[in-house]
Amino acid sequence: MAIQEHSYYASFGYHVTGFFGISSRSGSPDDFKYLVNKAHSLGLKIVIDLVHSHASNNMNDGVKDFDGSDHCFSHGGTRGYHSDWDSMLFDYSKYEVKRFLLANLAWFLDEYKVDGYRFDAVTSILYQHHGIGTSFSGNYAEYFGLNTDLDGIVYLMLANTLIREINPDAITIAEDVSGQPTLCREIKDGGMGFDYRLSMFMPDMWIKLLDGCPDENWNMGHITHSLTNRRWKEKVVGYAESHDQAIVGDKTHSMWLFDADIYTGMSRLFEATLRVSRGMALHKMIRLVSQSLGGEAYLNFMGNEFGHPEWIDFPREGNGDSYDYCRR
C-alpha cells in the first residue's frame, strides 16, 4: 500500500493527493522516521511505493487543475485522464512536472532516509495508451513505436539518475506489465536504469492452475520454463501472490486451496482433513518453487494469507458504498 497522503482509502493509497506527505492514517512523520531508523538498526532497508504514474482526480485537495486549468500538471482534455483509474495523468514533457516529481524523489531520500522505491504502474508512464485495452505479445514494435511516450521514458531515466546521485546504494523496482526490454538496462546503454522489475505474470499463472487445473495435471516443465523465462541479466522480483489477488472478487492462494476448511479445519487439536493436508503441501510448494526459480529477489505476501482469507473490498460507488466486504 502506498504511504503518500491520499483522500480515497479504497484506492489503497494510489490516488495520491499529498505527494510530500505521509498518510495521516498511518501515523505522523516522526512515527515514520522512527520506523525507518528502527529498521536500519536491525539491518533492514525500507523501499516504499512511489506513485508518479498518476494522481488523484480531486480538484480540492490534489494537484489536478492546480492553476485553474486542466493542463497545469497534466495534458489537457482526455489525454490527461486515465479512464480505468479515474485519475489524472502527468505531462512529463513539462519542466515544472519533472521538477516537482524529482523533488518528491529527493524528499523521501533526504528527509526520511528511505532506501529506494517501487515505482507503481510504470506501464502507464511508458506508453501514450497507458496500457489501456492493450495486450503485449513481446513484439518489439509494441515497445518502440508511435505509442511510446518518450517524455515518460526520459523522466524515468532522470529519476534513476537522481536517486543514484543521492544514494548510490538505493534500490529501484519497476511495476510494468508490458515487458519493456530496456527497463532494467543501464542508462549509459540507453536503458532506464531500474534494478529490478516485478514478475507480474507469476501470480496469474498460479491462480490459473489453482482455479482450473487438477494438481496431478500440473506440467512442471511448463511451470519451470515460465518462472525462468526472462532476459539475460535482467533482475526480477518474483512473488507467488500479492494484495492484487485478495481484493475485488479474487481470492488468496490459501482460500483457493482450503476453501471453507480454512474456518473450521486449521486447528492442530484434531487431525487435518485431506483438503487441509493437500492445501498446506501445495501452499509451501508454490512458495518454494517461486522463490527458487522466480527471480533474483522474492516478495513475500503482505501478511493476510490467513488474516483475510476471503477477498476484501472497501466502500465505493461500484458496490453501493457497502462495508460488507471490508470487515472480514
**Per-residue pLDDT tens for 154-203?**
999 999 999 999 999 999 999 999 999 999 999 999 999 999 999 988 98
Point out the catalytic residue in the list 70, 151, 175, 195.
175
| Separation CA 9–CA 2 (nearest Å) | 11
Q: What is the crossing angle of helices 95-111 and 150-166, to 10°?
A: 30
- Residue 229 reports pLDDT greater than 60: yes
Per residue in 68-108, pLDDT (tens digit) is 888 889 888 888 889 888 889 999 999 999 999 999 999 99
CA-based radius of gyration for the chain: 21
* For the chain, domain boundaries: 4-198
Given 5, 49, 91, 120, the catalytic residue: 120
Q: What are phi and psi for residue 324, nearest 5 degrees?
A: -60, -35
Active site residue 175: yes
Measured distance CA(102)–CA(310) in Å, rounded: 39
Cβ contact 112:36 at 8 Å: yes
The CATH architecture that domain 4-198 belongs to is Alpha-Beta Barrel (3.20)
Q: Is the pTM of this model over 0.85?
A: yes
Average confidence (pLDDT) over 297-302 = 79
Which distant-in-sequence residues (6+ apart) come within 8 Å of 211 by Cβ? 256
